[in-house]
Amino acid sequence: MDISLFDYKLPEELIAQYPAEEREGSRLLVANRQTGMIEHRWFIDLPDHLREGDVLVFNDSRVIKARLLGKKEGTGASVELLLTREKESESGGVLWEALARPAKRLRPDDRIYFGEDFGAIVEDKGEDGFVSVRFTGESDFQDGLEKYGHIPLPPYIRREDGEEDAERYQTVYAANPGSAAAPTAGLHFTEGLLERVRGVGAETVFVTLHVGLGTFRPVKTDRIEEHIMHEEYYYINKEAIERINLAKEEGRRIICVGTTSVRTIESACAADYKGNYYIPEGNYHGNTDIFFYPGGNPFHMTDGLITNFHLPRSTLLMLVSALYDREMVLEIYREAIEQKYRFFSYGDAMLII
């Protein structure tokens, strides 16, 4: 398929630069795949669209302060790193893959300092601006990030991160540090709304996918089938596997909160000898590069989706189009634009059921 099939025009003023005043105060567009009906609601109304027995799957990955601004030893040149994925280290220490800017001036063994007690050494260079860096200094890695790192707001938010972002660019249930971007569909939930979801008889289940370049890397090929997803790490605990499998066995709806939750459970699933899909206990963790687009990988576990509105030509828009229908999704986006919905990470949401 040609990448242009996933294009649309978005007025710049509809790109949300700040979160809504209240998390659950965002708007919610509800798209029913059976009837084709569209409703314009508020996110706080979400429980009205859930059934007893529904299972909502949340990504509980926690955003780290993955943006680091430093100086190169010797020259004092400015270097910016965006940490994308932790790597296994054979020689000890903390090793991360990162996007560097400017990468072309970095060489292996170059030292970058972010503060007097926190720095990194370039281990090797990859393609497309990637480097592997090993962190050094007196500060513990997590302490160093807290002290010198910045919340990695996406580039379409045209401002520096502030104190508010440390809280609002994080879900209220975030537990496992490791993401370079927020699983943004979950930003709309409060503890009170989670209780209301459970109050209608729906279950809440938590999985982990550390959001990295696989989620937000732009598609640079004209044919989307040629795009290669970047691997991201996922983990599902035993309780979550049992509850998801039971819901699938009993024919109850599994509604994913965000595209990363979709990619997690679909990456882990397998078919039994009867052709029924489930998540084997042995598939509770791994690295996934699964890519969804119309006509590509089928969905086996996902029955519904809560998601924000995504960038043109993005793999996220392709996933939503694969779950529903490309032309219908673009029509929904056109209506959302006419209705002045707010787009992208800090924007409004949609529910596909």
Distance of CA 31 to the CA centre of its chain: 21
Say whether both 95 and 14 belong to one domain: no
Q: Does residue 344 register a pLDDT over 80?
A: yes
Say whether both 75 and 34 belong to one domain: no
Residue 130 lies inside a defined structural domain of this protein: yes
8 Å CB contact between 197 and 46: yes
Say whether both 54 and 188 belong to one domain: yes
Say whether both 274 and 126 belong to one domain: no
* Mean pLDDT calculated for residue range 80-91: 88
Say whether both 132 and 212 belong to one domain: no
Residue 158 lies inside a defined structural domain of this protein: no
Residue 121 lies inside a defined structural domain of this protein: yes
8 Å CB contact between 144 and 96: no
CATH of the domain at 102: 2.40.10.240
Question: C-alpha distances in angstroms, 80 versus 19, 28, 67, 214, 258?
Answer: 25, 36, 7, 20, 28
**Closest alpha carbon to 42 in 344, 342, 265, 297:** 342
Instruction: Identify any residues that bridge with 98 across adjacent strands, giving them in sequence order.
Output: 83, 131
Residue 156 lies inside a defined structural domain of this protein: no
Say whether both 200 and 175 belong to one domain: yes
Q: pLDDT tens-digit profile of 254-293?
A: 999 999 999 999 999 999 999 999 999 887 999 999 999 9
| Integer-rounded Cα radius of gyration of the chain | 21
Residue 87 lies inside a defined structural domain of this protein: yes
Say whether both 300 and 324 belong to one domain: yes
* Mean pLDDT calculated for residue range 152-172: 96
Q: Does residue 215 register a pLDDT over 90?
A: no
User: Containing domain of residue 342, as a range?
Assistant: 3-63+165-352
Say whether both 212 and 341 belong to one domain: yes
Per-chain mean pLDDT for the chain = 96
Number of domains in the chain: 2
Say whether both 87 and 59 belong to one domain: no
Neighbours of 237 (CB within 10 A): 13
* Mean pLDDT calculated for residue range 237-263: 97
Q: Does residue 127 register a pLDDT over 90?
A: no
At residue 289, the pLDDT reads: 95
Say whether both 179 and 276 belong to one domain: yes
Say whether both 186 and 315 belong to one domain: yes
Say whether both 296 and 198 belong to one domain: yes
Quickly tell me which residue has 């010797």 as its tokens: 74
- Cis preceding-peptide flag for 102 (omega within 30 of 0): yes
d(CA 29, CA 51): 18
Residue 157 lies inside a defined structural domain of this protein: no
State which of 96, 122, 148 marks the end of a domain.
Answer: 148
